């Protein structure tokens, strides 16, 4: 490994918009993110899958006779 060519790998803090602060190690000292695992809908279980305008039903109706 060559000396003095690698970046410093030190403690870093990641701050989310929701206020959650995560301490980790990185080459960047501070990071600011919009979403984290504490506030993202997928990880909190509040994700909603919306079938807008009945797209699935329209697809099924349109191609119902194709497979027969």
pTM over 0.85: no
Reported residue count of the chain is 68
Secondary structure (3-state) at 62: helix
* Confidence (pLDDT) at 65: 81
On the question of pLDDT at 61 being above 70, the answer is yes
Q: Which domains does the chain have, with CATH numbers?
A: 10-62 (4.10.80.400)
pLDDT of 58: 82
Mean pLDDT of 4-32: 93
Rounded mean pLDDT of 54-68? 79
pLDDT of residue 26: 95
Average predicted confidence (pLDDT) for the chain: 84
């Amino acid at each position: 490994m060559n000396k003095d060519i690698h970046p410093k790998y030190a403690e870093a803090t990641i701050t989310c918009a929701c206020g959650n602060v995560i301490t980790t190690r990185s080459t960047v000292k501070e990071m600011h993110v919009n979403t984290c695992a504490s506030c993202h809908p997928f990880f909190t279980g509040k994700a909603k899958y919306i079938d807008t305008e009945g797209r699935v039903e329209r697809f099924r109706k349109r191609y119902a006779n194709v497979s027969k």
